[in-house]
Amino acid sequence: MLPELHLPWMEISVLITLLGSIWLKFTPDRDRAYKRCIRICTLTCLVTICGWIDFVSLNTFAASEPFSLFYRLFHKNLFVVDDLSAPLLPLAALLYLLTVLSTLKTKGHSFSFSNTLISEAILLSTLSSKEPWIIILLLSVATIPPLLEFRSNKRSSRVYVLHMGLFVLLLVAGGLLSSFKDQSGTLSLIAGALLTTAALLRSGIIPLHCWMTDLFDKITFGTALLFVTPMTGAYAILRLVFPIAPDWALQGIAIVSLITAVYAAGMALVQQEARRFFCYLFLSHSSLVLVGLEMATPLGLTGGLCVWISVGISLAGFALTLRSVEARTGRISLKTYHGLYEHTPTLAGLFLVTGLASIGFPGTLGFIGTELLIEGVIEIYPLVGTAVVIATALNSIAILQVYFRVFTGTHHSASISLRARIPEHVAILILVALVIGGGLYPQPGVISRNHAAIQLIQQRDEAFQENKVSVDYSISEDKHHLTTSP
């Protein structure tokens, strides 16, 4: 029996966002809807932080929720917080809060506050669940809100629908096959392959990545950011694939992810539009996270989990900075220099800090995670570790190149002030504070991620041991049947 939290924090946070979404549906005034959405997201973020503090105070590897409505209905703990998901929940809630906070009120017609809260409820439910079928269901439902925005903006969604349709099909097929008891292990391998392909597709691993660039091109920057930045594909791999996949399969995932990381970093160097640049930059970083997660060693897995947190924070700040600049100038072309530093010096500084933090600059949150990741990879595959360094170097060059394109190189004339609003400064500064604070005092975060890594490896070993015992028992039963049959 798992220990219980003092309150059902996760159910409360999901309920707040769902009720808030309904409330905003009946709020036609955009200014009022914006303010209400900020209040709802702030309350949700505070609840998830309280849940994280409550979990840490219990000093346990996992905890269920008391007074759970789902437990009374299904007699099963559907919402469980553990070492892996505990910090991801407040991080996800914070990302939604800061994205809404930095949204211009004039964008309310294209960026739906109500649908954003529905997406947040789905994401928080996904990160709170360990049940395979619940995760599969929620990951499938999460693909709907971006599709609604495609339709409301009257943009072609064919690429997105084809990829996400395949994603859902692979998830469901893999889940069905994994539910069958197979003594030979063939069905388990097929199920693992289907689930792996689905998770890699959701993560944008090449050659299944074109849906991500299409997403950033055709819907609002905020919605695209919230759909990809939480890295639910990585979460699906850890929950659905990591416990059952053999070592050779994890090594294959790591190699494919590494190829994607280097390829995406190279593509980020040659992009001529800022949104596509960010898409490839994020794709490279998220692929490096997958490389660490598939090492199946405490050091490599700890590095991957640390980079997951650091990339989520730093690239969120980086994207919000780009989004603020784009809100003032329109789509940003990287073919020419824009010289915006004189008009937006604060955004220029935040752009540089968050960008450098994402590639592991010393003194930032990403430094320790990147160091652990490289050491963990080199410990097993020295050549692969070199490729990680190459991908990181290419990303750093791409970030500096875009900084010079956007903020330097010419004098920009503007008839109105382009300076960022206070809410935009606050949103990005919060992320910068986390990036620098985590870099100066990284011990709590590293210890937390190391505990999660050890727990994941232990669960994987236990699952393999149970499978081995089951197979040995079935073999002995067959032998007994053969010896006793006439």
Task: Convert the pLDDT of each residue in 383-437 to its tens digit.
Answer: 777 888 899 899 999 999 999 998 988 876 765 666 767 887 788 888 888 888 8
More confident residue, 279 or 109: 279
Hey, what are 233's tokens? 């594909």
Split at pLDDT 50, 70, 90, the class of 373 is confident
End-to-end CA distance of the chain: 47
Contacts of residue 96, Cβ cutoff 8 Å, sequence gap at least 6: 41, 44, 45, 116, 119, 120, 123, 226
| Residue-wise pLDDT tens digits, 212-233 | 999 999 999 989 999 999 999 9
Alpha carbons 86 and 84: distance in angstroms, whole number: 6
More confident residue, 191 or 143: 143
Q: What is the pLDDT of residue 20?
A: 94
Hey, what are 198's tokens? 């689905």
- H helices of 230-297, in order, are 232-236, 247-269, 274-293
Contacts of residue 432, Cβ cutoff 8 Å, sequence gap at least 6: 317, 350, 353, 354
Q: Is 191 left (phi over 0), alpha (psi -120 to 50) or beta?
A: alpha
Split at pLDDT 50, 70, 90, the class of 438 is confident
Q: Is residue 64 within a helix (H) or strand (E), and if so which, with residue range? A: strand 62-64
Which of 250, 162, 263 has the alpha carbon at shortest distance from 205? 263
- Of the listed ranges 36-40, 137-141, 178-182, 326-330, the least confidently predicted one is 178-182
Q: What is the pLDDT of residue 95?
A: 94
Q: How far is CA 173 from the centre of its chain?
A: 23
Rounded mean pLDDT, 459-485: 57
Split at pLDDT 50, 70, 90, the class of 121 is very high
Q: How buried is residue 124: exposed, middle or buried, by Cβ count under 10 Å (0-12/13-18/19+)? A: buried
Hey, what are 69's tokens? 């409505």
Q: What is the pLDDT of residue 107?
A: 60
Which of 159, 402, 410 has the alpha carbon at shortest distance from 271? 402
Q: Where in the chain are the domains?
A: 1-130, 156-245, 258-485
Q: What is the pLDDT of residue 279?
A: 93
Alpha carbons 217 and 198: distance in angstroms, whole number: 23
Which of 275, 229, 240, 281 has the alpha carbon at shortest distance from 260? 281
Q: What is the pLDDT of residue 482?
A: 46
Map tokens 């997201």 to a residue.
41
